Structure 1
């Protein structure tokens, strides 16, 4: 019996409501809440969508494999940090940042906004939090504000993360083969004298410019929101005012990144906005702080419960450049292995472990171990220990203790992350059931189209955000919803390029409220059972981004129409 669209949409959203009530309402830890939410998803998939048990099991297996990849990234990031801590290099890094400023509001902009943004541009897929969060904790930040900051910045930089993957792979794959998209690409290409692949690249570039312009304007307030919310949630006085005191510096930090970010989108293409913006912005920011520009008056701000960090004192023979060298090497290797213009990426991607027909179903997965950030993290950790051990007199058994400590940090995160990703995979692969319904996320999106009609642009960023929050990936959200957004835009007479751009911007913001991103960011510093609190806090960034994006679109369209 066919169910009504309203009832079907309600059943599709039910597992998400279960997760929300348990995490946000009852404040259960994710390691308790997510197994129940997974069971609810499985029940709906089997009982309503008619998904075969073997298919649901295969989707769960696919989720487990993806979860293992995510866990390997967490482990690698923790291993590198604890290696540097054991060698004494982390203490030198802390001293170098304190020389820039002892004010935590300044440090969070430098480490989370700029350094985290750079890692996002190079690697994406949750890597910024895996590096920036433990680094902030190592610098003396309490765990919760460090996790919050690592998650809060995963919006503006994400659309061009991993050298433009969300656009060049996500949107491109989502629109590939669609007659309307191909016709529009040909039309745009004809105007520029482009054909075929060049015309398609021109279509993506046109969407990318709209994405970049939107982020450049909406993202201007993200550093200020980051600092103000951090002082409100975690300061001794729980004060917005203490964060707003650095409004000049926060706005400068935003402009220092976003002006070159937008220029790179116009002049260089979608691979470079986040990379160029964060690099140029870091240089400008450090110069400004060292010269005392835009800094607030008074004593440097700190947390009431800030930890001096139990670090081994740096050996005098470990200078600042040597201490930062491992992270610089990580950044370099991430760029070399991800930029499509360089040959190393294609060589590494050829090393594939293909897993076809999981459990005899149509589901499959390709493992590319050499392209995982964890491979780089572990390799640099080994090299760092070998290099520093002779300078500070460490034995091989000291490195064994680093591995054991890193594994101990990882273990509590396994259940929450495993069930979170398994839930997502069952949710996304629910369209192969005997009832022939579309997948659960597409059912939700289609019902939203019926509710909003011609006002669809109001909902477009939220749909992108929902996709990313579920899948933990702006790239996957764009794959899933770009064509839907394009077709809806054609039906309501809106500009399809703008609607797809709204999808991508919302998808970027959705990373701030993705459950398994929260679990992963918490795991790298050994923090657990606070996922609901973090989601409520990062939710303000997400809400701001959605509202500001819609208002900006309304203004832009109004100006064009007039």
Structure 2
């Protein structure tokens, strides 16, 4: 009964959203109610903990809604200023092929945003941009979520490593104050992640094109996917090799940022020159009735893209410049600590540090840079509020479930928290094949918590214990945990809610998960296989 109760947080959303195809606002409400009842009756979670967890989830929902509003208002502002037409024109000059656009925008530009911001921001930013390019909303949401996988292993300047793996006390005899030794530890994990990615990151761009053609072409001619594989494999090779080099030379902090910048240049130049490109232009994911603006824009391409450059620049400055980072983290701090007086139940919201605030600033900057009326921003804001309101109805029950699940260790029966209970049960039954299991524990963690970093924070001690007991290379198993958490981004409920909201698909969350679930499972299989190989080579 205990295992069934713990798994209810995973099984119920799957049944309601994927099997019954309910909209998230309905399916996640039912799921949350089931978990709340089981948490109170079976797990013995204190009532004040449940109430505090619901409040914590509601507060976290506000932080996500700010990011959603920022992403939508930026795109809507750029539509009103005419920048979107110029951006589209620029992409058509590189390649009108939607397979190419999916890689450059969905995978590579998303990787750049992930490296700077993380926390689900890439899907919220690139999804609307792909819709503006003419992709159907379902294609845009699906590709944005699947693409936001490989770069998530390193997240916002290495957060899944530096934070996610930080709660393994005294690992390998490393004292917390021994910064050099801890840096070496994180460096070793990064080496193993990029070693596994020499294969996985190489094939992910091809996987994206396969999904795009399989789900969103009218005839499902898979030859249209295979024809693009020479180019997508070359993109993957350059990304994987760059990430491998950066991780080995510098550690985890700048892998996603540097790799994406290098490969955006490579992909843009080769696509424009037609290198390894099929002759036929594929546009079958184009939304019905989409019209290419015939009139050439008089706006410069740099001016059109400048708001996104502002986003990347501000994200990097607020995270890498200590004085600015401290200022944005300590001013306008709406963090809610010790909710209802319960120590440890907190919800952070440093408003100036939030990617949402930066996206809004970028929208305002667009008005100034592009010399347009402030009315463009006002109109965009009014249009964007409705989309965020729709998403909030799904986010509130989703995050209530997440926080009760996470805080369930505060109970009258002295049970461990539900996530830990699941991990211990999996370790007891599947320890003999742990290299194949480890990625899926990371995936489960991200599916529920909505964060690769939180997944690793939660499960890395258990991964380390199992690896030690089974005599497996701990570096490799922990790397698999990090990569599994990244893969879970494809299916985690609140990421899906966010991705569907920003492209106008509120209520279609289950349909999106049905399309991302297969690639997520395949990704986990690849991590398991590569873990065995890398363990045999590097240990």
TM over 0.5: yes
Cα deviation, 1:469-515, whole Å, max 9, x if unaligned, reads: 11111110111111111111111111111111111111111111101
How far did residue 211 of structure 1 move?
1.4
Distance 1:73 1:23 in 2: 24
Q: Is residue 129 from structure 1 mapped to residue 118 from structure 2 by the alignment?
A: no
Distance 1:312 1:162 in 2: 39
Cα contact 2:21–2:510 (8 A) shared by 1: yes
Structure 1 match to 2:430: 452
User: How do 1:277-426 and structure 2 match up within 5 A?
Assistant: 277-303=259-285, 305-308=287-290, 315-316=297-298, 318-339=299-320, 342-351=322-331, 352-362=333-343, 363-390=345-372, 394=373, 396-426=374-404
Cα contact 1:142–1:307 (8 A) shared by 2: no
User: How do 1:42-121 and structure 2 match up within 5 A?
Assistant: 42-121=36-115
Distance 1:33 1:368 in 2: 30
How far did residue 445 of structure 1 move?
0.7
Distance 2:335 2:141 in 1: 34
Kindly tell me: are residues 307 and 152 of structure 1, through their superposed partners in 2, closer, same or farther at Cα, counting changes over 3 Å?
farther
Distance 1:21 1:53 in 2: 27
Cα deviation, 1:66-125, whole Å, max 9, x if unaligned, reads: 111111100001001000100111100000011000010111111011101111111111
How far did residue 529 of structure 1 move?
2.1
Distance 1:560 1:498 in 2: 9
Distance 2:203 2:445 in 1: 24
Kindly tell me: are residues 469 and 409 of structure 1, through their superposed partners in 2, closer, same or farther at Cα, counting changes over 3 Å?
same
Cα deviation, 1:314-352, whole Å, max 9, x if unaligned, reads: 752x1111111111111111111123x653223322333
- 2:348 match: secondary structure: strand
Cα contact 2:304–2:370 (8 A) shared by 1: no
Kindly tell me: are residues 369 and 496 of structure 1, through their superposed partners in 2, closer, same or farther at Cα, counting changes over 3 Å?
same
Among 23, 28, 45, the alignment partner of 1:34 is 28
Cα contact 2:43–2:413 (8 A) shared by 1: yes
Cα contact 1:88–1:312 (8 A) shared by 2: no
RMSD over equivalenced CA pairs, Å: 1.9
> Which ranges of structure 2 fall in alignment gaps of 5 or more residues?
none
Structure 2 match to 1:4: none
Distance 1:261 1:450 in 2: 35
How far did residue 357 of structure 1 move?
2.3
Kindly tell me: are residues 509 and 359 of structure 1, through their superposed partners in 2, closer, same or farther at Cα, counting changes over 3 Å?
same
Structure 1 match to 2:473: 495
How far did residue 42 of structure 1 move?
0.5
How far did residue 364 of structure 1 move?
2.3
Cα contact 2:73–2:377 (8 A) shared by 1: no
Distance 1:166 1:503 in 2: 10
> Which ranges of structure 1 fall in alignment gaps of 5 or more residues?
1-6, 190-194
Cα contact 1:85–1:312 (8 A) shared by 2: no
Structure 2 match to 1:161: 155
Distance 1:27 1:295 in 2: 38
TM-score, reference length from structure 1? 0.92
Distance 2:146 2:435 in 1: 24
Structure 1 match to 2:520: 542
Distance 1:482 1:374 in 2: 29
Structure 2 match to 1:224: 206
How far did residue 443 of structure 1 move?
0.6
Distance 1:398 1:542 in 2: 39
Distance 2:142 2:230 in 1: 22
